[in-house]
């Protein structure tokens, strides 16, 4: 059974970097895609990025393209989100989520989230 | 990008009542629409995928319908644990994957 645990959130100054991690305790991590979804305080959900099962395909929402990088290490059952040039508007709870099977493009399950606060 | 518009923004109902939530897409998404439930301080949970299929472990009081641009999530008889925010999400044409703005179901 998939169980996702995010880490790496915290308070960071604008323009700095942060790296989030999401570890999966299941046994089939290398067979499915993974997403990052974020939620600004008091706001709705926003999809951020996706990576395919083998890391060969990656897609991003426009607002993070060129600043964020999604990657994975299948030997460690972990997906990462490297966030550079952070802005105040990147402040949010960041969730990782497993890509749906066979419903690719849906999210199930989700991790508990990690809060990123970008502030001087 | 496909824009999803949810209505109403807030639904005030009593336990035992029927809830009807709407999601409208800016262009056809076929049946590639999902619904999620989010309770305060918790991560979202998948309820319905592909418009009308309940996810694993979701009670039968939750049902989804619709196709094309108009979708509905119905909760047949509200239980106390159903008061939450509900989001629709499309996977028809992506990236990007997009969500609606959410409907809050609150206790009247």
pLDDT in tens, chain B (108 residues): 999 999 999 999 999 999 999 999 999 999 999 999 999 999 999 999 999 999 999 999 999 999 999 999 999 999 999 999 999 999 998 999 999 999 999 999
- Beta-carbon pairs below 8 A across chains A and B: 65
What's the rounded mean pLDDT across residues A8-31?
94
Give the model's pLDDT for residue B63.
Answer: 98
State residue B68 phi and psi, 5-degree precision.
80, -105
Give the model's pLDDT for residue B85.
Answer: 98
Q: What sign does the dihedral B7-B21-A44-B104 (CA atoms) show?
A: positive
Q: How far is CA A11 from CA A14, A41, A93, A114, B25, in A?
A: 10, 14, 12, 11, 36
Report the SS3 class of residue B42. Answer: coil
A-chain residues within 8 Å CB-CB of B46? 100, 106-109
B-chain residues within 8 Å CB-CB of A44? 87, 99-102
Interface test with B, best of A5, A34, A107 (most B CBs within 10 A): A107
* Lookup: tokens for A44: 């709705």
Helical H runs in chain B? none
**Cα distance between residue B77 and residue B19, in whole Å:** 7
What percentage of chain A has pLDDT greater than the value 90?
91
A-chain residues within 8 Å CB-CB of B55? 108
Give the model's pLDDT for residue A75.
Answer: 94
What's the rounded mean pLDDT across residues A39-56?
97
What percentage of chain A has pLDDT greater than the value 70?
100
Give the model's pLDDT for residue A25.
Answer: 87
Strands (E), A1-120: 4-7, 10-12, 18-24, 34-39, 45-51, 58-60, 68-73, 78-83, 92-99, 107-110, 114-118
pLDDT band at A103 (very low <50, low <70, confident <90, very high): confident
Angle at B49 between CA B46 and CA B54, to 5 degrees: 75
**Cα distance between residue B96 and residue A13, in whole Å:** 28
CA-nearest of A109, A35, A113 to A72 is A35
**Cα distance between residue A69 and residue B28, in whole Å:** 31
Altogether, the residues listed in chain A come to a count of 120
Give the model's pLDDT for residue B72.
Answer: 98
Of all residues in chain B, the one with the smallest CA distance to A37 is: B97
Burial of A53 (0-12, 13-18, 19+ CB in 10 A): middle
Burial of B81 (0-12, 13-18, 19+ CB in 10 A): exposed
Nearest to A45 among B32, B44, B95 (CB): B44
Nearest to B43 among A47, A104, A111 (CB): A111
User: Would the pLDDT of A27 be above 80?
Assistant: no
Give the model's pLDDT for residue A1.
Answer: 75
* Lookup: tokens for A48: 């951020």
* Lookup: tokens for A97: 């989520």
pLDDT band at A47 (very low <50, low <70, confident <90, very high): very high
Burial of B93 (0-12, 13-18, 19+ CB in 10 A): middle
**Cβ contact (<8 Å) for B44 and A95?**
yes
């Amino acid at each position: 059974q998939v169980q996702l645990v995010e880490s790496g959130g915290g308070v960071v100054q604008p323009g700095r970097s942060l790296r989030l991690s999401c570890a999966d305790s299941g046994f089939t991590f290398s067979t499915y895609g993974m997403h990052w979804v974020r939620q600004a305080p008091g706001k709705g959900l926003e999809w951020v990025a996706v990576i395919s099962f083998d890391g060969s395909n990656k897609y991003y929402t426009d607002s993070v393209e060129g600043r964020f990088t999604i990657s994975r290490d299948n030997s460690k059952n972990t997906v990462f989100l490297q966030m550079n040039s952070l802005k105040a508007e990147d402040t949010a709870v960041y969730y990782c989520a497993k890509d749906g099977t066979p419903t690719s493009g849906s999210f199930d399950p989700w991790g508990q989230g990690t809060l990123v606060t970008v502030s001087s | 990008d496909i824009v999803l518009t949810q209505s109403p923004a807030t639904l005030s109902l009593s336990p035992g009542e029927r809830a009807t939530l709407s999601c409208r897409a800016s262009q056809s998404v076929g049946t590639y629409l999902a619904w999620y439930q989010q309770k305060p301080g918790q991560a979202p949970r998948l309820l319905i995928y592909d418009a009308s299929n309940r996810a694993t472990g979701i009670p039968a009081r939750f049902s989804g319908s619709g196709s094309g641009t108009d979708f509905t999530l119905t909760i047949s008889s509200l239980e106390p644990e159903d008061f939450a925010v509900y989001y629709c999400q499309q996977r028809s044409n992506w990236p990007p994957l997009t969500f609606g703005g959410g409907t809050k179901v609150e206790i009247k």
